[in-house]
């Protein structure tokens, strides 16, 4: 039987070793999202299926989670600035140069709340398309206030062909956190 002190030292050494590897990877540029050739780590986040994005628990939290779903649809005309309101706290703003033709846009959002704080928001936008210029995903700051602390910023991820990929770092503008979106896909903002 191993002494407790030995196990604690071993665990501490393992944690220090892991932290050192993470630091080296970051210093080597492996985690730099601005480097197109660099490694971008997958988010600690949702599964590939939107409907079950929050079924798999990310942590062994004993606190119950609640889920709120929103769905919205609107015809967005080309050549005009339009807003698709997803909920009172979330919207898509399409600038006048983003669309070349009128598009029927859809938006789904699923908000996971644990102990009164937002833990994750998953989005699914349609139809699949790329915009002529970026549009804005606007989320009320109070809805996602606690989500910046894990990464030091608000991070938007999108579901790419090979997994979850960094999309944008949100910018606080007044009461909103604003993300730029250049195509429709599955997205997530989370801790």
pLDDT score of 40 more than 70: no
Q: What is the structure's pLDDT at 146?
A: 74
pLDDT in tens, 121-132: 999 999 999 999
What's the CA gap between 74 and 103, in Å, rounded? 8
Least confident of 29-33, 42-46, 77-81, 124-128: 29-33
Cα dist from 20 to 15, 25, 26, whole Å: 9, 9, 10
Q: What is the structure's pLDDT at 178?
A: 95
Answer yes or no: are the C-beta atoms of 132 and 182 closer than 8 Å.
no
Least confident of 20-24, 62-66, 144-148: 20-24
Categorize the per-residue pLDDT at 20 as very low, low, confident or very high, splitting at 50, 70 and 90.
Answer: very low
pLDDT score of 9 more than 90: no
φ/ψ (deg, to 5) at 27? -65, -30
Tell me the whole-structure pTM to 2 decimals.
Answer: 0.67
All domains of the chain in start order, with CATH: 1-41 (no CATH), 42-190 (2.60.220.30)
pLDDT in tens, 89-133: 999 999 999 999 999 999 999 999 888 888 889 999 999 999 999
Peptide bond before residue 181 is cis, with ω within 30 degrees of 0: no
pLDDT in tens, 132-162: 999 999 999 999 887 765 567 888 998 988 8
Residues belonging to the chain: 191
Q: What percent of the chain has pLDDT over 90?
A: 44
């Amino acid at each position: 039987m191993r002494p407790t002190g030995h196990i604690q030292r071993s665990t501490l050494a393992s944690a220090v070793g892991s932290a050192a590897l993470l630091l080296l990877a970051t210093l080597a540029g492996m985690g730099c999202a601005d480097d197109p050739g660099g490694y971008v780590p997958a988010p600690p986040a949702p599964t590939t299926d939107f409907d079950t994005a929050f079924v798999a628990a990310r942590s062994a939290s004993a606190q119950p989670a609640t889920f709120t779903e929103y769905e919205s649809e609107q015809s967005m005309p080309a050549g005009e600035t339009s807003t698709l309101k997803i909920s009172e706290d979330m919207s898509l703003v399409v600038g006048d140069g983003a669309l070349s033709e009128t598009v029927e846009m859809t938006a789904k959002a699923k908000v996971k709340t644990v102990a009164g704080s937002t833990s994750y928001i998953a989005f699914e936008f349609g139809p699949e398309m790329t915009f002529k210029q970026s549009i804005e995903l606007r989320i009320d700051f109070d809805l996602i206030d606690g989500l910046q602390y894990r990464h030091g910023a608000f991070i938007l991820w999108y579901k790419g062909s090979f997994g979850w990929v960094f999309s944008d770092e949100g910018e606080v503008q007044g009461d909103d956190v604003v993300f730029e979106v250049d195509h429709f896909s599955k997205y997530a903002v989370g801790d």
